[in-house]
């Protein structure tokens, strides 16, 4: 894929002329026991990878055409929240639930931008503010690390969409054997917020970077950078902070 035709670039491209689709993700957030923020972000990223690699998304699979149409246009992901009966209804729709340490994210095959199933359309986008109750350990550098831009103040839902974009960039960089190895290992990855100085080094290192179009919450610009893990991804390795 040419970098000049990336669906993650902010400026207009020919992809904008194609019919537009969105990948819906729903995060399970109960008031009494919400998941930790980074757990939710990492689980959303893995959910995108699980959808990309699922046999129903490939070849003659039942979701393959929707996945192709979605990836031919501007790549959009929208994260909504659900609890209680809402979560149970969302879980009954065709899709895949991915779990993290405590987080649960269900990903669904792409739908037209204005064609959401009613059970998902009524779910709220707001209310996905989550926190990390404990200090995060250093990321595992042998697996991909998705670095968040420290200059941005994004909700957890917006951040989950961006980490999903980052995971998708890493997937596109892989050979078939690399994808198979990453999938077999359970798609290990880390999400962390870069230190300001480290962010500048990451974006200057030739790493894949997501450029958000600025439709929601933030102005157009860089949101995440993806540093490859030596076990799976032939991506450049950024300099250590």
14-33 tens-digit pLDDT: 555 667 899 999 999 999 99
pLDDT at res. 241: 33
* Residue linked to tokens 């909504």: 80
pTM: 0.89
pLDDT at res. 8: 52
Asked if 147 contacts 192 with a C-beta cutoff of 8 angstroms, the reply is yes
Phi then psi dihedrals of residue 22, to 5 deg: -135, 145
Q: Which residues of the chain have pLDDT under 70?
A: 1-18, 127, 230, 232-241
> What number of residues does the chain have?
241
Asked if 33 contacts 42 with a C-beta cutoff of 8 angstroms, the reply is no
pLDDT at res. 126: 78
* CB neighbourhood size of 131 (10 A): 10
């Amino acid at each position: 894929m040419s970098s000049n035709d990336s669906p993650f670039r902010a400026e207009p491209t020919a992809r904008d002329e194609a019919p537009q689709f969105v990948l819906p993700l729903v995060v399970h957030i109960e008031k009494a026991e919400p998941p930790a923020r980074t757990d939710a972000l990492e689980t959303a990223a893995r959910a995108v990878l699980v959808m990309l690699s699922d046999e129903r998304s490939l070849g003659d699979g039942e979701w393959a055409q929707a996945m192709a149409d979605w990836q031919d246009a501007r790549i959009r992901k929208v994260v909504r929240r659900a609890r209680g009966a809402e979560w149970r209804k969302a879980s009954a729709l065709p899709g895949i639930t991915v779990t993290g340490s405590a987080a649960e994210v269900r990903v669904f095959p792409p739908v037209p931008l204005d064609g959401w199933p009613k059970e998902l359309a009524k779910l709220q986008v707001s209310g996905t503010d989550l926190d990390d109750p404990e200090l995060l350990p250093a990321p595992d550098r042998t697996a991909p690390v998705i670095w968040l831009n420290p200059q941005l103040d994004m909700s957890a839902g917006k951040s989950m969409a961006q980490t999903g974009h980052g995971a998708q960039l890493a997937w596109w960089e892989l050979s078939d054997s690399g994808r198979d190895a990453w999938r077999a290992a359970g798609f290990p990855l880390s999400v962390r917020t870069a230190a300001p100085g480290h962010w500048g080094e990451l974006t200057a290192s030739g790493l894949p970077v997501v450029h958000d179009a600025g439709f929601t919450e933030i102005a157009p610009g860089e949101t995440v950078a993806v540093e490859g893990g030596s076990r799976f991804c032939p991506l450049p390795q950024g300099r250590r902070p």
